[in-house]
Amino acid sequence: MAAHTSQSVAKAAGDVENTDDARGRSRWTDSRATGRSGGGLGRALATHWYAWAMVAPVVLVLGVIIGWPLVRGVYLSLTDANERNVGRTIGANHIEATYQFVGLDNYADVLTDPVFLQRLVWTVTWTVLCVSITFTLGLVLANMLNREFRGRAAYRMALILPWAVPGFVSVFAWRFLFNRDNGILNKLLDGGGISAIPWLDDPTWAKVAVISVNVWLGVPFMMVALLGGLQSIPGELYEAAEMDGASAWQRFRHITVPGLRSVSMTVILLSTIWTFNMFPVIFLLTRGGPGDATEILVTQAFKEAFISSPRDFAGSATWGVLILALLMIFALVYRRSLRKQGEVW
Amino acid sequence: MTVTTRTSPPARGKRSPLASAGLHTTLLAASVIAVFPVLWVVLTSLKPAKHAITTDFVKEPTFDNYRYLVEETSFFTWFGNSVLVAGITTVLGVFIAATTGYAVSRFKFPGMKPLMWTLLITQMFPMAILIVPLYNLMGQMGLLNQPLGLIITYLTIAVPFCAWMMKGFFDTIPVEIDESGRVDGLNPFGTFWRLILPLAKPGLAVTGFYSFITAWGEVAYASAFMVGDENLTLAGGLQTFVTQYTANWGPMTAASVLIAIPAALFFLFAQRHLVAGMTAGATKG
């Protein structure tokens, strides 16, 4: 099928890339562009209008449905907008918005509220634990799958399954397994003589539960990405090292680790952002509960706007802006630390 | 860093039987953990509702849950809504993203660097910051509870990522092909449309697949924007089976199976290229 033809093309393409000249190769308009640089706007338009025309749709999308709401979100966070005073249309009647600009009041409220610190601490704990456990398990499994043995393909298929099933379906499946009175996990424990664990009803166990589910969901991506990285390390390196008497640990330390650096940096960054913003797992598994024990920043923002009553749009926007600010800071720090290590990124 | 079928490095020495046993034990344990929850849902969906919470693997297998799902719930309406929303998002998203991916891959133009950065940064936008303004906007335009509202919203997720992945795919197509097109008198649009796009079909398929799955599995926007039984998408519909007060596990598991099977099949075909696209796009920037 399509998958088969695509494999061979991607393989050929992959080989081109692996020789690592893809980056060095000049793009075909480079010479033209540099040759004509320094002209006026008209000349720039003449040279670049193809490119600009091709990116126009995306710029439009970014501007209209991401840029504008973003600006609007920041603005809302500076007002006292809620369910009752935003403009809306009910049937044929249009009600004008009556909310007012309140400056930084919302930020002062949120930041001085101990709830913010609680959420932040738990969100960071959740992100760090999830990403580190997922990465470690993914690395171990990828290293195992990178050897040759019977049944490798079957294992690979089985291990990828959690990624293949839509996330919200898996989360419901886990909710079913975690069920306190009737869930299979507690039944199994019971069979082993251990009393039932209140998986989703006890603050600590609920935290364990959400982290486990997120790790379960995240490992396949890590594993496949790292396996790809491992397979792009030339086997000759290992042979040469073995010839020189390097131990298994030394080969891992000095060949595998540096060889995986660039793919690791990417997957860790992606995974951190995804986990930080992981809405479905928390929302569908525990609804942030019991109480508010597993509420992370993103679910908190959602709760403010869509679950609490009256709906507090301004408050939610404030949480949103704070989340974005935190992620931006993280990305900048991450990028800077990569630069220090000599990665071009 | 492509994840392609490649023969693994030649076996370095022989493993001891002990190491081999350890390897298989670990992998077997991991596989069981990975497969069990999914398997359990499938098995439960085949049990009669009164046995849904028993621990027997198979007990009086029946399709009652599926029959209930089809006859008593709006499952197919939700399914249709999801297909419609995810399908249109995919087509629009991939088309818009492909031209941008190509431009960014092949041309050097003023505004390229900022555009690349914007695409990267928008991927980290939490839905938390966009959801309220979009909700209000949709409310004002009367698009709440409309598939169109959800489609527009999902484009915010799909487009930046697809553009970024398409760039990675176009980067792997040799520039000599563009040059030959130019020599033959094609303008850049013609080159893109007639030469490069056909070659990038695998890339298009994978990006399309990615946006479909993203839209198919999205929860937050769907829960906030769509209310009323006939407007729900699958993510919202599934939530109605298991609320704080009731737990209708039988139909829920049956619905899960029906939702997961098509997605999983497609996924297993496309996943190799999916990872290649994501990591290549991000590292070759």
Which of the pair, B186 or B9, is modelled with greater confidence? B186
What is the rounded CA–CA span in Å between residue B255 and residue B259? 6
pTM: 0.78
The residue among B42 and B55 whose pLDDT is bigger is B42
CATH of the domain at A210: 1.10.3720.10
What number is the ipTM of this complex? Answer: 0.76
pLDDT of B88 reads 92
Dihedral sign from CA coordinates of B113, B117, B120, B123: negative
pLDDT of residue B189: 82
What confidence score (pLDDT) does residue A24 get?
38
CB-based contact (8 Å) between A196 and chain B? no
Q: What is the pLDDT of residue A5?
A: 33
Hey, what are A182's tokens?
Answer: 């009737």
Inter-chain residue contact A52 with B109, CB threshold 8 Å = yes
From B131, B202, B264, residue closest to A302, measured CB to CB: B131
In this prediction, residue B1 has a pLDDT band, given cuts at 50, 70 and 90, of very low
Phi, psi angles (nearest 5°) of residue A68: -65, -50
Note whether A248 contacts B: Cβ–Cβ < 8 A.
no
Q: DSSP string covering A62-129, please?
A: IIIIIIHHHHHHHHHTTB---TTTS-EEETTEEE-----B-TTHHHHHHHHSHHHHHHHHHHHHHHHH
- pLDDT exceeds 50 at position B8: no
- What's the whole-number mean pLDDT along residues B250-276? 78
In chain B, residues 63-92 whose CB comes closer than 8 Å to chain A = none
CB contact under 8 A, A10 and B224: no
Contact B130, A62 (CB under 8 A): no
Of A314 and B127, the one with more pLDDT: A314
- What is the span of the domain harbouring residue A250? 113-311
**Chain A CA closest to residue B268:** A164
**Tens-digit pLDDT profile for residues A73-130:** 888 888 888 777 776 666 666 667 777 777 788 888 888 888 888 899 999 999 999 9
- Per the domain annotation, does A41 fall within a domain? no
Q: State the total domains in chain A.
A: 1
Query: In terms of pLDDT, which residue wins out, B57 or B13?
Result: B57
- Span B40-53, mean pLDDT? 79
Shortest alpha-carbon distance between residue B104 and chain A (Å): 8
The span from the CA of B282 to the CA of A267, in Å, is 9
- Residue located via tokens 């087509």: B91
Residue A235 domain flag = yes
What's the confidence (pLDDT) of residue A89?
A: 61
Q: Would you say B260 and A166 are in contact if contact means Cβ atoms under 8 Å apart?
A: yes
Interface of B with A in 128-187 (CB under 8 A): 128-137, 139-140, 142, 152-153, 155-156, 159-160, 163, 169, 171-175, 178-179, 182, 187
Q: Which residues of B touch A57 (CB under 8 A)?
A: 96, 99-100
Q: Can you give the three-state secondary structure of B208-228, one letter per residue?
A: HHHHHHHHHHCCHHHHHHCCC
Contacts of A316 in chain B (CB under 8 A): 128, 131-132
Average pLDDT over residues B2-22: 60
Q: What tokens does A152 get? A: 């490798």
Q: What is the pLDDT of residues A253-298, one digit of tens each?
A: 888 888 888 788 878 888 888 898 888 888 888 887 787 888 888 8
What is the band of A132 on the pLDDT scale with cuts at 50, 70, 90? very high
- Cα–Cα distance measured from residue A106 to residue A320, given in angstroms and rounded to the nearest whole number: 12
The whole-number pLDDT of residue B246 equals 67
pLDDT at A156: 86
Assess if residue A336 is contained within a domain: no
Please give, rounded to a whole number of angstroms, the shortest distance from the CA of A6 to a CA of chain B: 5
Query: B29 falls in which pLDDT band (50, 70, 90)?
Result: very high
**Contacts by residues B233-239 (CB-CB < 8 Å, ≥ 24 positions apart):** B233/B78, B233/B81, B233/B82, B233/B85, B233/B150, B234/A168, B234/B78, B234/B79, B234/B81, B234/B82, B234/B259, B235/A168, B235/B82, B236/B78, B237/B73, B237/B74, B237/B75, B237/B78, B238/A168, B238/A169, B238/A172, B239/A284
Residue A325 counted as domain residue: no
Per-residue pLDDT tens over the stretch B68-126: 888 888 888 888 888 899 999 999 888 888 888 888 888 888 888 888 888 877 876 77
Say what percent of chain B tops pLDDT 90. 4
Across all residues in chain B, what is the average pLDDT? 79
Q: Which residues contact A308 (CB under 8 A, 6 or more apart)?
A: none
Residues of chain B contacting A85 with CB distance shorter than 8 Å: none
- Domain ranges for chain B: 17-65, 68-283
CATH class of B68-283: mainly alpha
pLDDT of residue B273: 67
Strand residues in chain B grouped as ranges (E): none
A237 closest CA partner among B2, B9, B15, B13: B9
When comparing pLDDT for B230 and A134, which is higher?
A134
- Contact A14/B at CB under 8 A: yes
Tell me which residue in B110, B247, B271 faces A224 most closely, judged by beta carbons.
B271
Beta A93-95 vs A88-90: how paired, if at all? antiparallel
- The residues that bridge with A89 in the sheet, in sequence order, are A94
> Is the pLDDT score of A17 beyond 70?
no
Q: Which of A85-94, A129-138, A206-215, B233-242 has the lowest mean pLDDT?
A: A85-94
DSSP B49: G
Q: Which of A147, A176, A252, A266 best tests the B interface by mutation, with the highest count of B CBs <10 A?
A: A176
From residue B77, alpha-carbon distances to A247, B14, B71, B144 in Å are 60, 57, 12, 17
Reported for A242-246, long-range contacts at CB under 8 A and 24+ positions apart, including other chains, are A242/B12, A242/B13
